[in-house]
Amino acid sequence: MPEALPEALQAARSIADEFYRAKALTALADKLPEALQAARFIADEFYRAKALTALADKLPSALMPEALQAAC
């Protein structure tokens, strides 16, 4: 299954609706720190905040400053 994770991230990134993209990225967050990078590109502040909130407890501590920056 780990070999499918890059494809899952790519599929999540390609979801046009930001609500569903945020949900997909948060579902992948515990498997892929790259979900933070994708969440940063959610333009709608509400959905970006929801995605970042869900990611926060799953990200390695080294990525927390980046998550905080994305939230601003």
Structural domain tally of the chain? 1
Radius of gyration for the alpha carbons in the chain, expressed in angstroms and rounded: 11
Is residue 70, in this structure, part of any structural domain at all?
Answer: no
Is residue 47, in this structure, part of any structural domain at all?
Answer: yes
Q: What are phi and psi of 60, to 5 degrees?
A: -60, 150
Is residue 43, in this structure, part of any structural domain at all?
Answer: yes
Domain that holds residue 36: 1-11+31-57
Which residue carries 């720190």 as its tokens?
A: 33
Is residue 35, in this structure, part of any structural domain at all?
Answer: yes
Are 70 and 40 contacting, i.e. CB atoms less than 8 angstroms apart?
Answer: yes
Is residue 49, in this structure, part of any structural domain at all?
Answer: yes
Query: What's 5's DSSP letter?
Result: H
| Nearest one of 12, 21, 15, 6 to 51, comparing CA atoms | 21
Tell me: the pLDDT tens digits for 2-56? 577 778 888 888 899 999 988 888 787 766 667 777 888 889 989 888 888 887 7
Gap between the Cα atoms of 6 and 46, Å rounded: 26
Is residue 41, in this structure, part of any structural domain at all?
Answer: yes
pTM of the model: 0.60
